[in-house]
Structure 1
Amino acid sequence: MLASILLFTSLFTLVIALDNGLALTPTMGWRNWERFRCEVDCETYPNDCIGERLFMDMADAIVASGFKAAGYEYVLLDDCWPAPHRDSSGRLQADPKRFPHGIKALADYIHSKGLKFGIYEDFGKKTCAGYIGSEFYLQTDAQTFADWGADLVFFDHCYAAAKDMKYGFPIMEFFLNKTGRPMIFTCPWPMDNRIQHIKPDFPAIRKTCNMWRIYNDIEDSWDSVIGIINWWSKDWYNMSAYHGPGGWNNPDMIVVGNFGLSPDQEKVHFGMWCIFAAPLLLANDLRSINNRSKALLLNKRLLAINQDPLGIQGKPIQMVGKLLTD
C-alpha cells in the first residue's frame, strides 16, 4: 500500500513551557467535531446532535469500553454549543433546548465518571460555525469556564484580526490562570501564522498554549491523513524543537473507527500520531466502534510510545522513494 518508507527518529531538545503544570504528556480524550460536526437538529438526530445527551453517552462509553483505563480522560465539547445571546450579566450560556441542564451540569456528570471536561470558544466576534465569540469578553469567559468546571479550553481564531493573535492568546491565557482553576489551553496561533505567511514565534506560542494547531483540519479520508503526515515530516520552522512536556504540536484529531480509512490506513494514521507524540483526541462514535479499530486505539505499546515522559516528536531521518500517497 505504501509507495515509500519514512524512518523517524527523535532528538532531545530543552524548551521553556507554559508554566501551569499541565499536559506533561500528550492529552488523550474524545472530541466531537470531525464525526458529528455542527449537527443541531436534535428532533431528527436525537443521538447524534450537539447536545448534552451525546457527551454523556461518550463519557459513559469511555469508561465502559476501557478507554478511560487506557488513559483517554478528556471529553471535549466543540463548536455550536452556545445560545445566540449572552445572559443579562454578559456571560455565555448554552443552547437551552440542546443543553437543558446547562454546561455546569454536563461538566459535573463527566467529572462524576472520573473524566475531565473541555470546552470550545473563539477569540473573534464569532466562532468558526458562526456562534457567539469571546471578543471583548475574555476575562468574563475565562471565569465562566472556571465556574463551570472546565479542565481544558480550546480557543479558536475565526472572525478575528490576524494582527491581534499575538496579543489575544497570551491575554486569554493570563485570564485563565487568574481564575485559579487548572485548565489546559489549546490554540491555533501558528496555524493562523501559516495561513498569513508569517513566521511563527514558537517560543511565545509555547509560553502561552499547552498545545497548538498548525496545519489543516483532518478529514475522514486517506488523502487528508497522508497529507498531514507528509507536511509534518517537513518540520516547519523546526517546530519539533518546541514540542515536549507542557506544550505540543497538534496534527488534529484521530479518525480511526469512522468510514474513510482501510484497516491498514488506520494503523498508519494512529501509529504516526503516536510517533509524533501528538495529542490523541478521538473523533468517532465510541458507542458503535468496531472491535478492530477499538483494539488499535487501546494498543498498549503504541500508547506507551505516545505517552513517553520525554515527549519527543519523531522526525524523518531517511526517505526511500516518493512521499506517501497511496
Structure 2
Amino acid sequence: EDLIVRQAKHLAADGWLAKGYEYIIIDDCWPSKYRDPSTKKLIPDPKRFPHGLKWLSDFVHSLGLKFGIYLDFGSKTCAGYPGSMDFLKVDADTMAEWSVDFIKMDGCNSDLKIQADGYAEFGRYLNATKRPIVYGCSYPLFQRWTKGEYLNWTQLAENCNLWRLLDDIQDSWVSLQTIMRKYEIHRETVIPVAGPGHWNDLDMLLGGNFGLSLDETRVQFGMWAMHATPLILSVDLANIPANVKEVLLADFVIRVSQDKMGSPADMLESIEGIQVWKRRLVDFNGGWALAFLHLSDSTGYPKMIVLTLREVGIPEGVDQGEDKQDRSFKLLDAFSGTDLITVTPTESFEVRVNPSGIVMLIVQPTQTS
C-alpha cells in the first residue's frame, strides 16, 4: 500500500499525469490466499493493503488518477492467488464497488478452449455494472496464434479494449528485439485489428530499469508510439534517471501514440539496412510519423541514409498528383520537438541513425492559403 501511494504521488506531481499517464495499476499478488467464505469476494491481503483497495482507489482518485487492478481468468493467478474462474460476476461487481477503472485479466491456470467465450462473458458482467472500466485481455498470448492456431480477432476486438499479443517482455535489449521482431513478422495479421477502443498490447515499457541503454529506451518508446500500443511504465518513479524521464515524457512522441486516427504504423521497404515505419496522423495538420530503426548487429557505428518524402509515399493517394508535388512539409524531431528542415516531396534530406537506435520524424504539411 505504501509503495502504491508513493508511486501515485509521483505520477500525479512529477509531470507524468500532465502528459497523459493517468492509470496506476496493481499487478498479481495483491489478494489474500482465500476468498471471503460467505460472499466469495476477493479479499485484499491485510498486511500488504491494511486499508483495503476501496480506500486505495479513493486515494488514487483524489490525486486525479485512475485505478487499475489485476485478475486472472483461471482457478489461480499466475503467482498462485485466487483466480476468477467460477466467480466472474462476483469479481466484476466487486471491481465496480471498489471504483476500479482498469482491469488486466490474465490467463494462467485456465482451459484454453473456453478463454475467448469466458473473457467475453466477464466483459458483459463489467458492462452490466455501468462503470466505465478499461478491459485488458491476456488470452491471445496463451492461444499460440503465432504458430498458426485459430484466434477469432473480431471477437477479441469486440470484447476487449486491449490484448496482450506476445510473451512477457524482460528487461533486456534481446527481449525487446524479440518482441519487435515477432510483431514485424505478424504485422499483417495484427495491424488491421487495432484501432480506437481496441489495441494491440506489446507489454510494458522498460525505460528506467537496468537492461536498456538510452538509445534502446528511445527505440522502445518510439516504436510503441508508432504501433499504437499502450504506454505502461514499470519503474520506480522516485528514482527514474532524468534523461530517461525526458524520453518518456517526449511530447511529440506521446502525441503520435495518442493520435485520434488510431492507425498503427505500416512497415515500408528498408533503406540500406534501416527499417522504415510510417504512421498516418490526424494531428500535425494531418501529417505522418516516420521511424527509422538501425537494428543490424553487423555494424557498431551509425548509418546515414538519404531519401525523399516521395520515396516513402508522402504525400499519399489523391495528394500524389503533379500539382501537389510543390507542397512543402516540415520535418520535426519527435523526441526533441526541434523543427529540422522544410522540404518538398522531391527534395532530399539526410537521416543519421545510431546503432540500436531510432530517428523518429514528424512530417507536417505546411499551411496553404
Which TM-score bucket, shorter chain as reference? 0.7 to 0.9
| 1:282 aligned counterpart, secondary structure | coil
1:68 & 1:314 partners in 2: Cα distance?
26
- TM-score by structure 2 length? 0.72
| 1:98 aligned counterpart, secondary structure | coil
Q: Provide, for residues 268-324 of structure 1, a one-character-per-residue CA deviation record: whole Å limited to 9, x for no partner.
A: 111111111110000011011010000001100111110100111112111344983
- 1:80 pairs with 2:29: yes
How far off is 1:235 after superposition? 3.0
- 1:267 pairs with 2:218: yes
For 1:6, the equivalent position in structure 2 comes to none
- TM-score by structure 1 length? 0.82
1:212 & 1:222 partners in 2: Cα distance?
23
Q: Answer whether contact 1:233 1:315 (CA < 8 A) is retained.
A: no
Please identify which structure carries the higher strand content. Answer: 2
Runs of at least 5 residues in structure 1 that lack an aligned partner in the other structure? 1-51
Q: Answer whether contact 1:226 1:325 (CA < 8 A) is retained.
A: no
**2:10 maps to amino acid:** A
How far off is 1:237 after superposition? 5.6
For 1:54, the equivalent position in structure 2 comes to 3
Aligned length: 275
Q: Report sequence identity in percent.
A: 42
Q: Answer whether contact 2:273 2:296 (CA < 8 A) is retained.
A: no
Q: Provide, for residues 191-212 of structure 1, a one-character-per-residue CA deviation record: whole Å limited to 9, x for no partner.
A: 1222675221110000010000
Q: How has the CA–CA distance of structure 1 residues 246 and 172 changed in structure 2, closer, same or farther, with 3 Å as cutoff? A: same
For 2:150, the equivalent position in structure 1 comes to 199
| 2:135 aligned counterpart, secondary structure | strand
How far off is 1:98 after superposition? 0.6
1:189 & 1:249 partners in 2: Cα distance?
12
Report which stretch shifted further, 197-206 or 286-295: 197-206
Runs of at least 5 residues in structure 2 that lack an aligned partner in the other structure? 276-294, 298-369
1:302 aligned to 229, 242, 253, which one?
253
1:242 aligned to 193, 196, 205, which one?
193
- 1:89 pairs with 2:39: yes
For 1:11, the equivalent position in structure 2 comes to none
Q: How has the CA–CA distance of structure 1 residues 197 and 131 changed in structure 2, closer, same or farther, with 3 Å as cutoff? A: farther
| 1:62 aligned counterpart, secondary structure | helix
**2:35 maps to amino acid:** R
1:71 aligned to 20, 26, 41, which one?
20
Q: Relative contact order (alpha carbons < 8 A, sep ≥ 6): 1 or 2 greater?
A: 1
Q: Answer whether contact 1:121 1:134 (CA < 8 A) is retained.
A: yes
How far off is 1:236 after superposition? 4.7
- 1:103 pairs with 2:53: yes
- 1:149 pairs with 2:99: yes
1:284 & 1:72 partners in 2: Cα distance?
13
For 1:162, the equivalent position in structure 2 comes to 112
